[in-house]
Amino acid sequence: MSGAGAPTLTVDGRGLRVVVVAASWHTQVMDGLLDGARRALGDAGVEKVTEVRVPGSFELPVAASRAVAAGADAVVSLGVVIRGGTPHFDYVCSAATTGLTELSVRTGVPVGFGVLTCDDEAQALDRAGLPGSGEDKGYEAAQAAVATVVAL
């Protein structure tokens, strides 16, 4: 985890089934987020990992819902939404955050939130876990999802 007050987490996810649901917009940033999530799950010893790609972040909640219905112990959601000149940004961000939160609370299955909501691509790249990035939000989201399963 990174940022002021962020915890240091050590997690043992051996035996867990984790599904990574990932949007496809903003390819370079998405590649970084996916790589970070894979590293975090590897560090936690998670062997049963399934990746599902959907077109955009708006589609993440339904993909996560299917993953939960299929028996996932945790879901990691990854996406990148970059503000444009219309209210579309707000609708996509709201749909993704509300849908993922409601799914997690209703089912009791942790959903790691690795959806970047940024003003521009530079902000997103700085959080993508790529060489030169300041933060690694894909890693953090996956680690948080596994840590929450273990804690519960």
Active site amino acids: 88
Strands 48-53 and 17-22, by their bridges, are parallel
Q: Return the residue nearest ligand DLZ (CB atom).
A: 56
User: Rounded to the nearest 10 degrees, how much is the dihedral formed by the CA atoms of 3, 39, 16, 52?
Assistant: 100
In whole angstroms, the minimum distance from the beta carbon of 106 to ligand DLZ comes to 22
In whole angstroms, the minimum distance from the beta carbon of 137 to ligand DLZ comes to 14
Q: Which residues bind ligand DLZ (CB under 6 A)?
A: 23, 25, 55-59, 79-82, 84, 88, 92
* Number of other residues whose CB lies within 10 A of the CB of residue 39: 16
Distance CA 77, CA 59 (A): 10
Instruction: CB nearer to ligand DLZ: give 5 or 84.
Output: 84
- Per the annotation, where are the binding residues for (2S)-2-hydroxy-3-oxobutyl phosphate? 85-86, 127
